[in-house]
Amino acid sequence: MYQVPDQHGKLAVVTGANSGTGKEAAKRLAGAGAHVVLAVRTPAKGEQARADILAAHPGAQVEVRRLDLADLTSVRSFADGLVAEGRPLDLLLNNAGVMNVPQRTETADGFELQLGSNFLGPFALTVQLLPLLLAAPAPRVATMSSGTANRARIDFDDLQSTRAYSPTRAYAQSKLADMLMMLHLSDLAADRGWPLLSAGAHPGYTRTNLMTSGPTLNGGRPGLLESVLYKIVPSQGPEQGAEPLLYAATSPDTTPGGYYGPRWAMVGPTKTVPAPRSARDKSVAARLWAEAERLTGAAAPSRVS
Protein backbone atom coordinates (compact mmCIF):
# COMPACT_ATOMS: atom_id res chain seq x y z
CA MET A 1 0.00 0.00 0.00
CA TYR A 2 1.24 3.48 -0.90
CA GLN A 3 2.43 5.39 2.16
CA VAL A 4 1.51 9.07 2.02
CA PRO A 5 4.53 11.19 3.05
CA ASP A 6 4.27 13.50 6.04
CA GLN A 7 1.77 16.27 5.33
CA HIS A 8 1.93 18.27 8.56
CA GLY A 9 1.49 21.98 7.98
CA LYS A 10 -0.23 21.51 4.63
CA LEU A 11 -3.76 22.50 3.64
CA ALA A 12 -5.57 20.15 1.25
CA VAL A 13 -8.94 20.40 -0.49
CA VAL A 14 -10.52 17.14 -1.67
CA THR A 15 -13.67 17.31 -3.78
CA GLY A 16 -16.25 14.55 -3.50
CA ALA A 17 -14.74 13.60 -0.16
CA ASN A 18 -17.84 12.09 1.44
CA SER A 19 -17.44 8.65 -0.18
CA GLY A 20 -15.33 6.42 -2.40
CA THR A 21 -11.88 7.47 -3.54
CA GLY A 22 -12.38 11.03 -2.28
CA LYS A 23 -13.13 9.90 1.25
CA GLU A 24 -10.21 7.47 1.20
CA ALA A 25 -7.82 10.16 -0.11
CA ALA A 26 -9.01 12.62 2.54
CA LYS A 27 -8.60 9.99 5.26
CA ARG A 28 -5.03 9.17 4.22
CA LEU A 29 -4.06 12.83 3.89
CA ALA A 30 -5.53 13.61 7.32
CA GLY A 31 -3.75 10.60 8.77
CA ALA A 32 -0.48 11.97 7.40
CA GLY A 33 -1.04 15.30 9.16
CA ALA A 34 -2.68 17.54 6.56
CA HIS A 35 -5.50 19.93 7.40
CA VAL A 36 -8.14 18.57 5.03
CA VAL A 37 -11.20 20.36 3.68
CA LEU A 38 -13.92 17.93 2.64
CA ALA A 39 -15.57 19.72 -0.29
CA VAL A 40 -18.97 18.07 -0.66
CA ARG A 41 -22.35 18.78 -2.22
CA THR A 42 -24.29 17.44 0.81
CA PRO A 43 -22.83 18.69 4.13
CA ALA A 44 -24.61 16.00 6.19
CA LYS A 45 -22.79 13.30 4.23
CA GLY A 46 -19.59 15.26 4.64
CA GLU A 47 -20.05 15.38 8.41
CA GLN A 48 -20.50 11.60 8.48
CA ALA A 49 -17.30 11.19 6.47
CA ARG A 50 -15.56 13.56 8.86
CA ALA A 51 -16.72 11.48 11.83
CA ASP A 52 -15.43 8.32 10.18
CA ILE A 53 -12.05 9.92 9.48
CA LEU A 54 -11.77 11.21 13.06
CA ALA A 55 -12.66 7.77 14.37
CA ALA A 56 -9.67 6.38 12.46
CA HIS A 57 -7.40 9.36 13.22
CA PRO A 58 -8.41 11.11 16.46
CA GLY A 59 -7.07 14.64 16.51
CA ALA A 60 -6.90 14.93 12.73
CA GLN A 61 -7.71 18.35 11.25
CA VAL A 62 -10.77 17.84 9.06
CA GLU A 63 -13.52 20.29 8.14
CA VAL A 64 -16.57 20.17 5.89
CA ARG A 65 -17.49 22.85 3.35
CA ARG A 66 -20.26 22.79 0.80
CA LEU A 67 -19.30 22.69 -2.88
CA ASP A 68 -21.60 21.84 -5.77
CA LEU A 69 -19.49 21.56 -8.90
CA ALA A 70 -22.65 21.63 -11.02
CA ASP A 71 -23.32 25.21 -9.90
CA LEU A 72 -20.77 27.93 -10.67
CA THR A 73 -22.26 30.16 -7.95
CA SER A 74 -21.45 27.45 -5.41
CA VAL A 75 -17.94 27.08 -6.85
CA ARG A 76 -17.37 30.83 -6.56
CA SER A 77 -18.70 30.92 -3.00
CA PHE A 78 -16.47 28.03 -1.95
CA ALA A 79 -13.37 29.55 -3.54
CA ASP A 80 -14.12 33.04 -2.21
CA GLY A 81 -14.43 31.64 1.31
CA LEU A 82 -10.97 30.12 1.18
CA VAL A 83 -9.42 33.12 -0.55
CA ALA A 84 -10.86 35.45 2.09
CA GLU A 85 -9.13 33.43 4.80
CA GLY A 86 -5.87 33.79 2.93
CA ARG A 87 -4.17 30.55 3.93
CA PRO A 88 -1.97 29.15 1.16
CA LEU A 89 -3.37 25.96 -0.39
CA ASP A 90 -0.87 23.17 -0.81
CA LEU A 91 -2.99 20.46 -2.40
CA LEU A 92 -6.12 20.45 -4.55
CA LEU A 93 -7.51 17.02 -5.40
CA ASN A 94 -10.10 17.23 -8.17
CA ASN A 95 -11.82 13.94 -7.47
CA ALA A 96 -15.61 14.45 -7.57
CA GLY A 97 -17.61 13.35 -10.57
CA VAL A 98 -20.78 11.88 -12.01
CA MET A 99 -20.92 9.03 -14.51
CA ASN A 100 -23.21 7.75 -17.26
CA VAL A 101 -26.28 9.89 -16.60
CA PRO A 102 -28.97 8.12 -18.69
CA GLN A 103 -30.78 11.18 -20.04
CA ARG A 104 -29.26 14.51 -20.97
CA THR A 105 -29.48 16.71 -17.89
CA GLU A 106 -28.28 20.27 -17.35
CA THR A 107 -26.47 21.96 -14.50
CA ALA A 108 -27.67 25.15 -12.83
CA ASP A 109 -25.72 27.06 -15.49
CA GLY A 110 -27.17 25.17 -18.47
CA PHE A 111 -24.18 22.89 -19.11
CA GLU A 112 -24.58 19.19 -19.89
CA LEU A 113 -24.35 17.62 -16.44
CA GLN A 114 -21.32 15.36 -16.93
CA LEU A 115 -19.28 18.04 -18.71
CA GLY A 116 -20.31 20.61 -16.10
CA SER A 117 -19.74 18.48 -13.01
CA ASN A 118 -16.64 16.64 -14.16
CA PHE A 119 -14.81 19.36 -16.08
CA LEU A 120 -16.21 22.90 -16.11
CA GLY A 121 -16.86 23.01 -12.35
CA PRO A 122 -13.41 21.62 -11.46
CA PHE A 123 -11.84 23.97 -14.03
CA ALA A 124 -13.49 27.01 -12.44
CA LEU A 125 -12.54 25.80 -8.98
CA THR A 126 -8.90 25.23 -9.93
CA VAL A 127 -8.54 28.61 -11.64
CA GLN A 128 -10.24 30.50 -8.79
CA LEU A 129 -8.00 28.79 -6.23
CA LEU A 130 -4.78 29.52 -8.16
CA PRO A 131 -3.94 32.61 -6.04
CA LEU A 132 -3.93 30.42 -2.90
CA LEU A 133 -2.11 27.57 -4.62
CA LEU A 134 0.60 29.87 -5.94
CA ALA A 135 1.07 31.31 -2.45
CA ALA A 136 2.18 27.87 -1.22
CA PRO A 137 5.83 26.82 -1.52
CA ALA A 138 5.25 23.65 -3.58
CA PRO A 139 1.58 23.41 -4.53
CA ARG A 140 0.01 20.54 -6.43
CA VAL A 141 -3.19 19.99 -8.33
CA ALA A 142 -4.09 16.31 -8.81
CA THR A 143 -6.97 15.63 -11.17
CA MET A 144 -8.86 12.36 -11.49
CA SER A 145 -9.53 11.22 -15.03
CA SER A 146 -10.70 7.80 -16.23
CA GLY A 147 -9.58 4.99 -18.49
CA THR A 148 -12.63 5.79 -20.61
CA ALA A 149 -10.84 8.97 -21.72
CA ASN A 150 -8.65 6.78 -23.93
CA ARG A 151 -11.63 6.25 -26.26
CA ALA A 152 -12.84 9.86 -26.27
CA ARG A 153 -12.47 13.00 -28.35
CA ILE A 154 -13.50 16.60 -27.71
CA ASP A 155 -16.44 17.48 -29.94
CA PHE A 156 -16.18 21.26 -30.15
CA ASP A 157 -19.14 21.33 -32.53
CA ASP A 158 -21.40 19.72 -29.92
CA LEU A 159 -19.54 20.14 -26.65
CA GLN A 160 -22.75 20.18 -24.61
CA SER A 161 -24.22 17.12 -26.38
CA THR A 162 -27.29 19.05 -27.45
CA ARG A 163 -27.58 17.41 -30.88
CA ALA A 164 -26.68 13.87 -29.87
CA TYR A 165 -26.43 12.55 -26.32
CA SER A 166 -24.81 9.31 -25.24
CA PRO A 167 -24.25 8.75 -21.49
CA THR A 168 -20.95 6.94 -22.01
CA ARG A 169 -19.66 9.28 -24.73
CA ALA A 170 -20.45 12.38 -22.66
CA TYR A 171 -18.72 10.87 -19.64
CA ALA A 172 -15.63 9.89 -21.63
CA GLN A 173 -15.41 13.37 -23.19
CA SER A 174 -15.60 14.99 -19.74
CA LYS A 175 -12.75 12.82 -18.42
CA LEU A 176 -10.59 13.51 -21.48
CA ALA A 177 -11.29 17.19 -20.83
CA ASP A 178 -9.97 16.71 -17.30
CA MET A 179 -6.75 15.23 -18.66
CA LEU A 180 -6.34 18.06 -21.16
CA MET A 181 -6.91 20.57 -18.35
CA MET A 182 -4.29 18.85 -16.20
CA LEU A 183 -1.69 18.87 -18.96
CA HIS A 184 -2.40 22.46 -20.05
CA LEU A 185 -2.13 23.63 -16.44
CA SER A 186 1.24 21.92 -16.26
CA ASP A 187 2.32 23.74 -19.42
CA LEU A 188 1.06 27.07 -18.05
CA ALA A 189 3.04 26.54 -14.85
CA ALA A 190 6.21 25.89 -16.85
CA ASP A 191 5.64 28.84 -19.20
CA ARG A 192 4.87 31.30 -16.41
CA GLY A 193 7.45 30.09 -13.90
CA TRP A 194 4.92 28.93 -11.34
CA PRO A 195 6.08 26.45 -8.67
CA LEU A 196 2.89 24.44 -9.21
CA LEU A 197 2.92 20.75 -10.13
CA SER A 198 -0.13 19.50 -12.06
CA ALA A 199 -0.57 15.74 -12.42
CA GLY A 200 -3.37 13.29 -13.14
CA ALA A 201 -4.63 9.86 -12.26
CA HIS A 202 -7.25 7.28 -13.05
CA PRO A 203 -8.64 4.77 -10.52
CA GLY A 204 -9.03 1.71 -12.75
CA TYR A 205 -12.18 -0.22 -11.96
CA THR A 206 -12.87 0.86 -8.40
CA ARG A 207 -16.05 -0.10 -6.57
CA THR A 208 -17.69 3.20 -5.56
CA ASN A 209 -21.17 4.69 -5.82
CA LEU A 210 -20.01 6.50 -8.97
CA MET A 211 -20.88 3.30 -10.83
CA THR A 212 -24.50 3.33 -9.66
CA SER A 213 -25.48 6.89 -8.73
CA GLY A 214 -25.18 8.38 -12.23
CA PRO A 215 -27.13 5.67 -14.09
CA THR A 216 -30.00 5.96 -11.58
CA LEU A 217 -30.47 9.74 -11.94
CA ASN A 218 -33.88 10.85 -13.21
CA GLY A 219 -35.34 7.41 -12.58
CA GLY A 220 -32.84 5.63 -14.79
CA ARG A 221 -31.13 2.34 -14.10
CA PRO A 222 -27.97 0.61 -15.33
CA GLY A 223 -28.42 -1.34 -18.55
CA LEU A 224 -28.07 -5.11 -18.66
CA LEU A 225 -24.56 -4.97 -20.12
CA GLU A 226 -23.41 -2.53 -17.42
CA SER A 227 -24.95 -4.69 -14.69
CA VAL A 228 -23.17 -7.80 -15.97
CA LEU A 229 -19.84 -6.01 -16.40
CA TYR A 230 -20.02 -4.67 -12.83
CA LYS A 231 -20.00 -8.29 -11.66
CA ILE A 232 -17.39 -9.89 -13.91
CA VAL A 233 -14.75 -7.24 -14.62
CA PRO A 234 -11.83 -7.28 -12.13
CA SER A 235 -12.32 -4.50 -9.59
CA GLN A 236 -10.83 -3.10 -6.42
CA GLY A 237 -11.93 -1.17 -3.35
CA PRO A 238 -11.48 2.57 -2.75
CA GLU A 239 -8.41 1.91 -0.60
CA GLN A 240 -6.51 0.80 -3.71
CA GLY A 241 -8.44 2.95 -6.17
CA ALA A 242 -7.50 6.18 -4.40
CA GLU A 243 -3.79 5.47 -4.54
CA PRO A 244 -3.05 6.85 -8.05
CA LEU A 245 -4.62 10.17 -7.04
CA LEU A 246 -2.74 10.20 -3.73
CA TYR A 247 0.48 9.37 -5.57
CA ALA A 248 -0.08 12.26 -8.00
CA ALA A 249 -0.79 14.59 -5.07
CA THR A 250 2.00 13.60 -2.69
CA SER A 251 4.74 11.37 -4.08
CA PRO A 252 8.23 12.89 -4.35
CA ASP A 253 8.54 11.00 -7.64
CA THR A 254 5.53 12.65 -9.31
CA THR A 255 6.50 14.54 -12.46
CA PRO A 256 4.83 17.63 -14.00
CA GLY A 257 2.07 16.39 -16.28
CA GLY A 258 2.54 12.85 -14.97
CA TYR A 259 -0.34 10.40 -15.25
CA TYR A 260 -0.80 7.49 -12.86
CA GLY A 261 -3.06 4.45 -12.66
CA PRO A 262 -3.27 0.79 -11.64
CA ARG A 263 -0.50 -1.50 -12.86
CA TRP A 264 -2.94 -3.87 -14.59
CA ALA A 265 -5.20 -1.16 -16.05
CA MET A 266 -8.24 -2.09 -13.96
CA VAL A 267 -6.58 -3.05 -10.67
CA GLY A 268 -3.26 -3.12 -8.91
CA PRO A 269 -0.61 -0.89 -7.36
CA THR A 270 0.12 2.51 -8.86
CA LYS A 271 2.44 3.02 -11.80
CA THR A 272 3.06 5.69 -14.42
CA VAL A 273 0.69 5.15 -17.35
CA PRO A 274 0.75 6.79 -20.79
CA ALA A 275 -1.75 9.50 -21.55
CA PRO A 276 -3.73 8.78 -24.73
CA ARG A 277 -2.69 10.56 -27.91
CA SER A 278 -5.90 12.62 -27.79
CA ALA A 279 -4.77 14.13 -24.47
CA ARG A 280 -1.35 15.12 -25.80
CA ASP A 281 -2.62 17.48 -28.51
CA LYS A 282 -1.54 20.88 -27.17
CA SER A 283 -3.65 22.81 -29.66
CA VAL A 284 -6.79 20.99 -28.52
CA ALA A 285 -5.84 21.56 -24.88
CA ALA A 286 -5.33 25.29 -25.46
CA ARG A 287 -8.61 25.59 -27.37
CA LEU A 288 -10.51 23.71 -24.67
CA TRP A 289 -8.94 25.84 -21.92
CA ALA A 290 -10.00 29.03 -23.73
CA GLU A 291 -13.52 27.68 -24.20
CA ALA A 292 -13.71 26.75 -20.51
CA GLU A 293 -12.64 30.27 -19.57
CA ARG A 294 -15.39 31.65 -21.81
CA LEU A 295 -18.08 29.36 -20.46
CA THR A 296 -17.20 29.73 -16.76
CA GLY A 297 -15.91 33.29 -16.68
CA ALA A 298 -12.86 32.07 -14.76
CA ALA A 299 -9.40 32.96 -16.10
CA ALA A 300 -5.93 32.09 -14.88
CA PRO A 301 -3.75 35.01 -13.73
CA SER A 302 -1.07 36.10 -16.18
CA ARG A 303 1.25 36.93 -13.32
CA VAL A 304 1.54 36.21 -9.62
CA SER A 305 2.04 39.04 -7.16
Gap between the Cα atoms of 19 and 32, Å rounded: 19
Of the candidates 2, 171, 247, 259, the residue annotated as catalytic is 171
What ranges make up the beta strands (E) of the chain? 11-15, 35-40, 61-66, 91-94, 140-144, 197-201, 259-262, 270-272
| Residue 260 vs residues 119, 195, 264, 270, 292: alpha-carbon distances, Å | 19, 21, 12, 6, 24
Contact assessment for residue 93 and residue 22, using Cβ atoms and an 8 Å cutoff: yes
Report which of 2, 10, 11 is spatially closest to residue 37, judged by C-alpha positions: 11
DSSP-derived secondary structure letter, 135: T
What SS3 class is residue 74?
Answer: helix
In one letter, which amino acid is 27? K
Computed on alpha carbons and rounded to an integer, the radius of gyration of the chain in Å comes to 18
Question: 11-15 and 91-94: which strand pairing?
Answer: parallel
CA 245, CA 248: separation in Å to the nearest integer?
5
d(CA 91, CA 28): 13
Instruction: Answer yes or no: 171 catalytic.
Output: yes
Q: How far apart are CA 123 and CA 126, in angstroms?
A: 5
Residue 51's contacts (CB-CB under 8 Å, 6 or more residues apart) are: none
Catalytic residue list: 171
